[in-house]
Structure 1
Amino acid sequence: MTTSRRGFLRFAMGSTVVAGGLQVAGAAAHAEPLHSVPPDHIGIQLYTVRNIMATDPQGTLGALGDIGYATVGVSGLYGHTPEKFREMMDIGGVRAVLTHTSWDAMNANVQRELEIARILGVRYVVVPSLPGSLRTVAGYTHAAAKFQEWGIKCRSAGMKFLFHNHDVDFVKADGKVLYDILLEQTDARFVNFELDLYWITKPGYDPVAYFERHPGRFPVFHVKDMAANGSFEDLGYGTIDFPRIFARYAQSGIREYVVEHDTPKVALVTAARGHDYLMKVRF
């Protein structure tokens, strides 16, 4: 796979030069000084490449390392033990910065989930969604209390707890945006947020407004672009104004920029474009 993969990556990276160049040219018109995304904090959520991870996890992790990714967000172990998966990441030249684990798994055995996270070597343990049955003020209030409990346990284990949003988290119940309950009823020492920039933008909410109201609580971005018709798009080919969002790096608390695309046409092309964009974007 090595030879063909390298040829594929040369094609994938070559296909992004024009788009990336336009982005830099546009950014250059902004006032100095310009800032960039730290290369060692550019990652990709493995959900983006899940189809090829399922058939060739070692080759896929190696391909991501060849593209230049420093980190990955783990989305399942594809039938491997945590120890084996950690070994494969090491061989592929990437490190896990976060892992997604379910609400149900955390409820069933939080210590087991933290042990898996420890073996993987992650900094962040992330619950990526809540059950639909909790989509009420009382349900999100309950979730906030559980997050607080898990966040304390994560901190004791040397990790941090985060919640990842979808658009449904921004619906209103009894006049209250449900997502706001999680922010308002948790302690920033123990609970923070992996902000999916697509899923907050699509329902019409502004990430910057959240940074202003809740500074420092968004250490991870899922950097996901949106086409004009509202569907998913490769980074730099869509409509989301990432430089405007990234420019608030001090206020947001951002540390990790994690590329994601839910339905890529060709996963490694999407991955290459995402890395290329984050390497070149200026803000």
Structure 2
Amino acid sequence: MDHSRRAVLGGALGLAAGVLPFTGGAAHAAPAGAAGRRRRRIPPSGIGMHLYTMRTPLAADFRGTLEQLADIGYATVGVSGRHGNDAAAIRAMLDATRLRAVLEHVGYDTVRGSGLPRALDDLHTLGARWIVVPSLPGALHTPAGFREAAREFNKAGLAARNAGLGPLLFHNHGDDHKTVDGEVLYDILLKETDPELVGFELDVYWAAKGGGSDPQDLFVRHRRRFPALHVKDMAPGGGFEDVGSGVLDFAAMFDTARQGGVKQWLVEHDAPADPFATARNSYAYLAGLRY
């Protein structure tokens, strides 16, 4: 494994050995010889906020929260929880604040059931492109269960395409990267879903912490399958951190993002002490990142 791949996974794998290969500052320094080629930047239109991060202020003031995100500089959002609003109301607030929804998280049971047509209609109302399954039930975390999910994803992805939308996406957590009966569960989805119908919203924190999937390598091996990312940083102890303040080497990780087809970099923090401070810190880091 080369230096840059160790950088991506180091924050997770080093924890087991009691050694932290990066500090918050060192994690983002360019490796020797790389500085001259790290000139790409995330386009401003690609920096978004996954609204799960902002769930507490959204519950109190949905439009006011969106206004503050727009003032920080965010261009897009991923919808995760409506807080009593329907899709049309959220679209009106997004339009008023000049934000754009790019995706919405919709439960697996809805996606595989009779609620899918309504969910796809709501996606059109929101002006979004991708419907995202945020997680799979624990009972499906076996090779057979993931193969069942792959079949359901292909069906739902076809329905999304027929509705004029992008492919269905799957959002990962740590357990999705485990090896069970000799198979990496996440690899089953990659191999057994149709690339034209199913893609992935890769949560880079959980991919690193899960230990079985290197984002930099995934982007190369499975090209154009990752239109959206959850950009989440890892604290030295393995918890959550504002983007750019933890141990993950995003510059190395994003070096192959173009091959992976990444179009949206959505900030996420699962438990922010101050959601707006997290939003400001994470935006400033991504807007200034060169890779």
TM-score, with length taken from structure 1: 0.89
1:32 matched residue in structure 2: 37
2:137 matched residue in structure 1: 131
Cα offset, 1:247, TM superposition: 1.2
Question: Counterparts of 1:178-257 in structure 2 under 5 Å?
Answer: 178-204=185-211, 205-257=213-265
Cα offset, 1:29, TM superposition: 6.6
1:272 matched residue in structure 2: 280
Q: CA RMSD in A?
A: 1.9
1:168 maps to 2:168: no
Q: Secondary structure at the match of 1:194?
A: strand
User: For residues 244 and 155 of structure 1, what CA distance do their matches in structure 2 show?
Assistant: 33
User: For residues 28 and 169 of structure 2, what CA distance do their matches in structure 1 show?
Assistant: 32
Report if aligned partners of 1:73, 1:97 keep a CA contact under 8 Å in 2.
yes
Evaluate the alpha carbon distance shift between residue 59 and residue 23 of structure 1 in structure 2; reply closer, same or farther with a 3 A threshold: farther
Report if aligned partners of 2:103, 2:128 keep a CA contact under 8 Å in 1.
yes
**Which segment is superposed worse, 273-282 or 242-251?**
242-251
Evaluate the alpha carbon distance shift between residue 29 and residue 171 of structure 1 in structure 2; reply closer, same or farther with a 3 A threshold: closer
- Gapped runs of 5+ residues in structure 2? 1-23
User: For residues 260 and 56 of structure 2, what CA distance do their matches in structure 1 show?
Assistant: 32
User: For residues 24 and 229 of structure 1, what CA distance do their matches in structure 2 show?
Assistant: 18
Report if aligned partners of 2:107, 2:135 keep a CA contact under 8 Å in 1.
yes
Deviations 1:125-156 (A, max 9, x none): 10010001111111100000000001111111
1:153 maps to 2:148: no
User: For residues 93 and 211 of structure 1, what CA distance do their matches in structure 2 show?
Assistant: 31
User: For residues 191 and 25 of structure 1, what CA distance do their matches in structure 2 show?
Assistant: 34
User: For residues 27 and 68 of structure 2, what CA distance do their matches in structure 1 show?
Assistant: 25
Deviations 1:233-263 (A, max 9, x none): 0011001110111111222111111000000
Letter in 1 for 2:157: G
Letter in 2 for 1:165: N
User: For residues 153 and 94 of structure 1, what CA distance do their matches in structure 2 show?
Assistant: 27
Aligned residues: 264
Cα offset, 1:33, TM superposition: 5.5
Deviations 1:183-242 (A, max 9, x none): 000111000100000000012231122223212211111000001110000011001110
- Gapped runs of 5+ residues in structure 1? 1-19
User: For residues 169 and 199 of structure 2, what CA distance do their matches in structure 1 show?
Assistant: 5
Identity %: 47
Cα offset, 1:266, TM superposition: 0.2
Structure 2 counterpart of 1:116, from 122, 137, 160: 122
User: For residues 105 and 96 of structure 2, what CA distance do their matches in structure 1 show?
Assistant: 21
User: For residues 167 and 90 of structure 1, what CA distance do their matches in structure 2 show?
Assistant: 35
User: For residues 36 and 263 of structure 1, what CA distance do their matches in structure 2 show?
Assistant: 27
Report if aligned partners of 2:27, 2:247 keep a CA contact under 8 Å in 1.
no
Report if aligned partners of 2:27, 2:248 keep a CA contact under 8 Å in 1.
no
Report if aligned partners of 1:23, 1:281 keep a CA contact under 8 Å in 2.
no
